């Protein structure tokens, strides 16, 4: 079963757990201020950011289904615009990205439809914005192949989305936005058309909440099969994405690979070029012990990691866990000797969802308001 825009809307309106990363138990105020991160002199502090209560957005979508469905429909793509993207928009602004992509102004300016779009796009745009974190590391680590054309080389980037939930249920149209946005955010106007580097992304979504109905998906930036030509894709190196699904915990999946692969440990450690975790809660007192073996495996691979948190409290708890495991890597160097950056904790995520929820797993300190992919950390 392949998710569609209609199924995306139903997941929001019906408040089904697979789409809502942290399912709300109750409603607070309609709009409230939540802290966001800001950088100053290498230190990060929180400033106010307007969020909208998810219950009100869901109620709006329920009463205005056609409007919500229209707003969530992705616009047609003009490939010629990609080469000019970084010159024409602020790539840290969701509203400017939506405008550049062709969403109607009324849907961008309406606080409810804007919130719906921010929620649906937070996963692909967050990854797209930080795609270079994996691409820079993969110069020496990713697998390469060459096409029959002497002008093109192919780089395969294999990522693992650990503890996958909501993002696994996104329709193809929204994961296609990952390809579009990656080209937009990381376009290099100096690259030569004489030699095209085509980058194929593969994401293995692994988690206990993965639906058994989800099957491997192949997503292309160009939908029309007749238009897939080298001439049409010269300006879009990020043109294909494969999504695979595995139900279960990562460390269990790795054990199964070990048993089936005759104990080839090195191959398993190098299977993925990096890991991403959306709102994992690895430092939450109710979840930390269950995350421990998976976290230990990821750190053992010494591959790059991109992770988000849904609140300031969440980021502080998770960072304590990461720091303990990163003792040997805090000097800021990779295996190849290159200087590693992003080792100073969590920072603001310009593509966080603006819908807020009450934390699904409150502690003795009480429930807090959360927002998916509120902040981000990479190392």
| H helical segments located in 275-359 | 288-301, 312-325
- Name the residue among 300, 297, 196, 208 with its Cα closest to residue 247: 208
Judge whether residue 8 has pLDDT over 90.
no
Q: What is the pLDDT of residue 294?
A: 97
Neighbour tally for 112: CB within 10 Å:
20
Tens of pLDDT, residue by residue over 213-237, are: 999 999 999 865 435 444 455 567 8
Binning pLDDT at 50, 70 and 90, where does residue 187 land? low
- Give me the number of domains the chain comprises: 1
Judge whether residue 32 has pLDDT over 70.
no
44-58, 80-94, 217-231, range with the lowest pLDDT:
217-231
137-151, 324-338, 357-371, range with the lowest pLDDT:
137-151
In contact, 103 and 174? CB cutoff 8 Å: no
Q: Which segments of the chain are extended strands (E)?
A: 31-40, 43-53, 143-146, 152-162, 196-207, 217-220, 238-247, 274-277, 304-309, 347-348, 355-358, 369-370, 375-378
Radius of gyration of the chain (CA): 20
Strand partners, 152: 196
Per-residue pLDDT averaged across 111-129, rounded? 96
Q: What is the pLDDT of residue 22?
A: 34
Binning pLDDT at 50, 70 and 90, where does residue 138 land? low
342: left (phi over 0), alpha (psi -120 to 50) or beta: left
Long-range CB pairs of 78-81 (<8 Å, 24+ gap) are 78/102, 79/221, 79/222, 79/232, 79/233, 79/235, 79/236, 80/235
Q: What is the pLDDT of residue 18?
A: 33
Q: Which residues contact residue 145 at a Cβ distance below 8 angstroms, ignoring those fewer than 6 apart? A: 153, 154, 156
Judge whether residue 85 has pLDDT over 60.
yes
Q: Which residue has the higher pLDDT, 19 or 142?
A: 142
Binning pLDDT at 50, 70 and 90, where does residue 73 land? very high
Tens of pLDDT, residue by residue over 240-285, are: 999 999 999 999 999 988 888 666 788 888 999 999 999 999 999 9
13-17, 89-93, 278-282, 337-341, range with the lowest pLDDT:
13-17
- Name the residue among 287, 302, 371 with its Cα closest to residue 340: 302
Q: What is the pLDDT of residue 16?
A: 34
Per-residue pLDDT averaged across 193-199, rounded? 64
Q: What is the pLDDT of residue 361?
A: 72
Q: What is the pLDDT of residue 4?
A: 62
Binning pLDDT at 50, 70 and 90, where does residue 143 land? low
10 Å CB burial of residue 288 (0-12, 13-18, 19+) is: middle
Per-residue pLDDT averaged across 89-109, rounded? 90
Q: Which residues contact residue 286 at a Cβ distance below 8 angstroms, ignoring those fewer than 6 apart? A: 361, 363
Task: Please spell the DSSP secondary structure of 61-82, one letter per residue.
Answer: HHH-HHHHHHHHSPPPP-GGGG
Per residue in 183-208, is it b (16+ CB within 10 Å) or e — as a string? bbbbbeeeeeeeebebbbbbbbbbbe
Q: What is the mean pLDDT of the chain?
A: 79
Domain span at residue 162? 5-378
Q: CA separation (Å) from 331 to 129, 324, 335?
A: 25, 13, 12
Binning pLDDT at 50, 70 and 90, where does residue 196 land? low
Q: Please state, for a pLDDT cut of 90, what percent of the chain lies above it.
A: 54
- DSSP class of 333: B
Q: Which residue has the higher pLDDT, 25 or 188?
A: 188
């Amino acid at each position: 079963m392949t998710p569609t825009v209609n199924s995306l809307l139903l997941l929001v309106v019906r408040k089904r757990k697979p789409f809502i990363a942290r399912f709300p138990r109750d409603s607070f105020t309609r709009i409230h201020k939540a802290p966001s991160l800001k950088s100053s002199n290498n230190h990060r502090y929180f400033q106010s950011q307007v969020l909208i209560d998810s219950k009100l957005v869901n109620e709006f979508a329920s009463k205005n289904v056609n409007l919500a469905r229209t707003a969530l429909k992705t616009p047609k793509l003009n490939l010629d615009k990609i080469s000019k993207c970084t010159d024409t928009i602020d790539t840290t602004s969701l509203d400017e990205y939506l405008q550049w992509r062709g969403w109607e102004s009324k849907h961008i300016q309406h606080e409810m439809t804007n919130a719906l779009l921010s929620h649906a796009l937070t996963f692909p745009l967050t990854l797209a914005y930080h795609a270079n974190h994996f691409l820079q590391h993969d110069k020496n680590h990713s697998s390469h192949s060459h096409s029959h054309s002497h002008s093109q080389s192919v780089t395969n980037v294999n990522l693992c989305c650990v503890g996958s939930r909501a993002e696994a249920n996104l329709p193809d149209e929204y994961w296609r936005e990952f390809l579009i946005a990656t080209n937009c955010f990381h376009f290099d106007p100096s690259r030569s058309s004489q030699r095209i580097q085509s980058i194929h992304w593969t994401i293995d979504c692994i988690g206990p909440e993965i639906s058994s109905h989800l099957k491997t998906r192949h997503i292309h930036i160009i939908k029309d099969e007749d238009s897939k030509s080298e001439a049409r894709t010269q300006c879009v190196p990020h043109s294909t994405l494969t999504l695979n699904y595995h139900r279960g915990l990562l460390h269990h999946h790795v054990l199964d690979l070990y048993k089936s692969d005759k104990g080839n440990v090195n191959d398993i450690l190098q299977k993925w070029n990096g890991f991403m975790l959306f709102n994992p809660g690895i430092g939450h007192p109710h979840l930390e012990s269950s995350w421990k073996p998976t976290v230990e495996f990821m750190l053992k691979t010494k591959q790059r990691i991109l992770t988000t948190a849904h609140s300031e409290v969440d980021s502080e708890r998770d960072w304590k866990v990461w720091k303990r495991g990163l003792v040997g890597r805090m000097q800021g160097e990779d295996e190849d000797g290159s200087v590693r950056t992003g080792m100073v904790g969590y920072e603001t995520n310009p593509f966080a969802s603006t819908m807020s929820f009450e934390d699904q797993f409150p502690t003795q300190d009480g429930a807090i308001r959360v927002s998916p992919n509120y902040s981000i950390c990479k190392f």
